[in-house]
A and B are shown apart, each in its own frame.
Chain A
Amino acid sequence: MPRLSAWLIRAALFHLSVGYLLGAALLVHRRWPWLGLPGQLLLVHQELLVVGWTLQFVLAVAYWILPRRPGRQPRGSLGSGWVALAMLNGGVCLTALAHLRAWPIGALSGRVSSLAAVGLMAYLLWPRIRPASLPPAPGPTP
């Protein structure tokens, strides 16, 4: 597993753990509302689990297992991948914090950061969507 995938997966597991903790608290809060949780936690829960966990985990595994390209950078530009990791996780955290603070510009900035990260990952993955190995050229039959 490439190092970038490993870190994307670790970050996704972090978001999974925190997102489920918030989800459990929200579920308990419905039965025992005296916990006094803010309603915005639902948006944070959704952000962490949809973008931080699911999307990030799927992108990490795709970066790992899609067919590699010939040449010195078989998985594309490594720098772009690390930038995508930083922008995706920064975007998720910023969006989550902005939801808590009811700060629309922060939430939009976070979402734009996540979008840019997804664009970078699409740029890296696109040329790798191809047959794993080219079929042998047809030769003369004996």
Chain B
Amino acid sequence: MPRLTRLFLRMGLVYLLAGSGLATLVQAQPVLGWSSSWLLLRPTAWHLIFIGWLTQVIMGVALWMFPSASRSQPHGSPWLGWAVLASLNLGLLLRLVAEVALAFWPASGASKLLGPAAILLLAGAWGFAVLIWPRIRTR
């Protein structure tokens, strides 16, 4: 298994734990009488699970098991692979920080991070499509 795939899978597990933990905290809000601001974090929890875990696991396994791109670079451009990993994870992290700040400290100005987060997540998804496209080959 290539190193990049191992990192995708490990980051996926980290986000699965983080997303499940955040979803549990959101669910605990009405039971424990916490601030209703917690409810604003429900979409963020789903994104941590859906992008952070599910999408990263799909991407990591695809980069590992799809037909080789070439003999010299069987998994495609290593540079682009690492850029996809970095973009997705940094984008998710920025989004998490921005959403938490928006929920609990709306005047903090952290909402400005949503723009860079959106660009990074989009770059990660498009980068993966570019990276894997030449490896979709029939026999």
Task: List the interface of chain A (C-beta within 8 A of B).
Answer: 1-3, 6, 9-10, 13, 16-17, 19-21, 23-25, 27-28, 30-32, 49, 54, 57-58, 61, 65
Inside 8 A of A58's CB, which chain B residues have their CB? Answer: 58
Give the tally of cross-chain contacts (CB within 8 A).
65
Q: How many residues of B contact A (CB 8 A)?
A: 29
Determine whether the beta carbon of B136 is less than 8 Å from that of A31.
no
Q: B: which residues have CB within 8 A of A?
A: 50, 54-55, 58, 61-62, 65-67, 95, 111-112, 114-115, 117-119, 121-122, 125-126, 128-129, 132-133, 136-139
Q: Evaluate contact between A28 and B138: CB separation under 8 angstroms.
A: no
Q: List 28 A-B contacts (CB under 8 A).
A: A1-B66, A1-B136, A1-B139, A2-B138, A6-B136, A6-B138, A9-B132, A9-B136, A10-B136, A17-B126, A19-B125, A20-B121, A20-B122, A20-B125, A23-B122, A24-B118, A27-B114, A27-B115, A27-B117, A27-B118, A27-B121, A28-B114, A28-B115, A31-B111, A31-B114, A32-B115, A49-B50, A54-B50
